[in-house]
Structure 1
Amino acid sequence: MQALAFLLDAVVSFFCTLFMLRFMMQTMRVSFGGQIGDFVVKLTNWAVKPLRRVVPGFGGFDWASLLAALALQLALSGFLVALAGPLVSAEPGLIALMAVKFALIALLRLAVYIMIGALILQAVLSWVNPYSPLSAPVNQLTRPVLDPIRRILPPISGIDLSPLVAILLLQALLMLL
């Protein structure tokens, strides 16, 4: 059962990451025209397109992508709680509430990990290949996080420390979650 739980967690995590990335890219107005955008859209359309008929976008947010990520994470949480069923002696309503709590926290943590990964990728690309096709979407994704920090901490001798500060703040947020 551990192997099945591991494989299921890996597949669900992969697709939840794609759904959250699609949600974040839409929220941050990142272009879906490049390779990354095309990859994310093609691998998530199977769930997002049908959900958009029921849950349309509103307020500039792609709620269908977020709902798809939540549904997958909720299914995984429910499965893992069901596996631990004999170990958990609580009423079914409490178990369902626990699964929802785990799913929401997992999605928040995933969004933070995506942002940390994007910040690290941006830093590496700025050193190695600043004109990479990945640079523009990564810059667009991280700009809303870095701009407020850059207003407080401008570049020092041409070195931008805002990604380091952002990663530290995101790590602190992960500790809270």
Structure 2
Amino acid sequence: MLSILTLIVDTIASVLGGVLLLRFWMQAVRVRPPSSVAQFTFQLSDWLVRPLRRIVPGVGGYDWASLIGAFLVVLLASSVFLIAGVPFQIILVHALKRFMQWIIYGFMALLIIEAIFSWINPHAPLAPFVRALNEPLLRPLRKVVPLVGNLDLSLLVALILLQVAQLLVNMLFAGA
């Protein structure tokens, strides 16, 4: 029964947390989303972000309320383990691990979406938006990774580096 509850809570939290992280990243890289993405993102997250902004204002051009909101969502979702009697300190460490995993998986998803757009329809309406979200990750790699046969392999290198980061997070939080 606990595994079913955990699945449901984790799924809902992952969607909401992903939207909050996307909201943070869109504002961090100063990308204006298409209206459909903006409407979905803001409608799904305003109920949490607006009250948090009274406590945590944006500083340095970053929407800290969205980032903190995402962490609070993963912490709340991890609190399901309280039912099983897991100590709060372990839940906090588990939440931090999951939060870092969400960030890494989010970047991986954006890179994979960009790759799919480049193969199927590079002129799709969402393609420039996804490209702009990935640009801060890919720009430094493009300076180092040369084109091979006129192919940009920086996206592949970024995915490999994110997988390495994922492995490091898993090793760092091996007990969580």
Question: TM exceeds 0.5?
Answer: yes
8 Å Cα contact 1:36/1:134 also seen in 2: no
Q: Which amino acid aligns with 1:111?
A: I
User: CA–CA distance in 1 between the matches of 2:6 and 2:120?
Assistant: 38
Counterpart-to-counterpart distance in 2, 1:12 and 1:31: 25
State the match for 1:7 in structure 2: 8
Q: Is the 8 A contact 1:29 1:140 kept in 2?
A: no
1:48 aligns with 2:40: no
**CA contact 2:34–2:126 (8 Å) conserved in 1:** no
The answer to whether residue 76 in structure 2 is matched with residue 84 in structure 1 is no
Q: Are residue 141 (structure 1) and residue 133 (structure 2) matched?
A: yes
Q: How many residues align?
A: 168
Q: Corresponding residue for 2:158?
A: 166
User: Where in structure 1 are there 5+ consecutive unaligned residues?
Assistant: 89-94
**Structure 1 contact 32–38 (Cα < 8 Å) conserved:** no
- Identify which range, 105-114 or 1-10, moves more after superposition: 1-10
* Aligned amino acid, residue 47 of structure 1: L
Q: Aligned ranges for residues 62-77 of structure 1 at < 5 Å?
A: 62-77=63-78
TM-score (norm 2): 0.90
* Residue matched to 2:61: 60
Q: TM-score, normalised by structure 1?
A: 0.89
SS of equivalent residue, structure 2 residue 60? coil
For 1:70 and 1:110, the matched residues in 2 are separated by: 10
Q: Deviations over 1:109-147 (max 9, x none)?
A: 111101111111101101211111111111111111101
Contact preservation (8 Å) 1:15, 1:44: yes
Distance 1:28 1:22 in 2: 10
**Distance in 1 separating the partners of 2:95 and 2:60:** 24
Q: Which residue of the partner structure matches residue 153 of structure 1?
A: 145
Instruction: Could you list the structure 1 runs, at least 4 aligned residues long, displaced by more than 4 angstroms after superposition.
Output: none
How many Å separate the matches in 2 of 1:151 and 1:38? 35
Offset at 1:162? 0.4
List gaps (5 residues or longer) in structure 2: 170-176
The two structures, once aligned, show a CA RMSD in angstroms of 1.3
Deviations 1:3-52 (A, max 9, x none): 22211111111111111111111112121343223321121111111111
Distance of 1:171 and 1:53 partners within structure 2? 36
Residue number in structure 2 paired with 1:97: 89
8 A contact 1:19–1:65 mirrored in 2: yes
Letter of the 2:106 counterpart? I
SS of 1:31 mapped into structure 2? coil
Equivalent-residue separation in structure 1 for 2:29 and 2:98 (angstroms): 21
Decide whether the 8 Å contact of 1:34 with 1:133 is kept in 2: no
